[in-house]
Every structure is written in C-alpha cells, then in structure tokens.
Amino acid sequence: MKKPKKKKYKFLEAVKRKYNVCCSVPAHYLVTLLIVCQVLDGFLTYFGVKRFGIEGEGNPLLRYLMSLYEPLTVLLVVKILAIILLVILYMKDIFTPEEYKMLFLVPCLYVILIFYLFGAIIPWSIVLFLYG
C-alpha cells in the first residue's frame, strides 16, 4: 500500500492562508526596479556631491571612501557591486520555490525599494531641486 505524499511546504502554506500572503509583483520586476534605483541614486549622489562636497553624502562609509578616492570612482564601484548582488539575488530567485519567494524574497525586495526611495532618491531629488 502506498502512503499518501505529504505536502512539501505545509508550514508555508498555512502561513500563506492565515495571513493572505500573495505575490502580486514577480521578483524580477522588483529586481529590475531596484537596479534602476541604484543607477538613479548613483547619478543623484554624484551631482549632490559635486554640488555640495562629500559632506553632503549621508552614508558615513561612502563619505570616508570619497575622502580617500575620487567620488565618481567610489560611486561606480559601490553601485556596480550593488547591481551584481541584485543579479545574484535574482539568479538565486530562479531556483527558489514559489512559497519562499512570497514569504521572504519579495517582502525583502519591497523593504529595500522603500529604503532607496525614501532614504536616497527622494531626499537627493528634493535637495538638488531646492538648492541645486
């Protein structure tokens, strides 16, 4: 007699039902949007640092690196590394079961996106518009 197969992700399905978790936006759209945000943040940061000096940069690590090296070089290296990490995350996403994407990956991408919008892009845009 064959035993019935157990569901692989019983816990995840229970959480999904209880909290009505859904994945309405595929992760690759969010990764693409985050890459665009990285590029936009790089441009805005470069113009902000060019206009106000490295003291205008809010990230202490970037500010320190910009004091040692050319700001454009630092921004290019940091943004390229961030984009490479996003691509690695996307490549890992291809092999991730859908349940994990819905519960962990997509919410993390949303948090990163909100951080970039409200912590980097919108503030730099306002400062450059008002004082640039």
84 found inside a domain: yes
63 found inside a domain: yes
Is 70 exceeded by the pLDDT of residue 93?
A: no
Cβ–Cβ under 8 Å, residues 85 and 93:
no
Q: Each residue of 49-79: pLDDT tens digit?
A: 999 999 989 899 999 999 999 999 999 999 9
62 found inside a domain: yes
Domain extent for 114: 27-131
111 found inside a domain: yes
Cβ neighbours of residue 11 closer than 8 Å, sequence gap 6 or more: none
8 found inside a domain: no
95 found inside a domain: yes
109 found inside a domain: yes
**Count of domains forming the chain:** 1
Q: Each residue of 24-57: pLDDT tens digit?
A: 567 778 889 999 999 999 999 999 999 999 998 9
116 found inside a domain: yes
Task: Say how far apart CA 21 and CA 100 lie, in whole Å.
Answer: 11
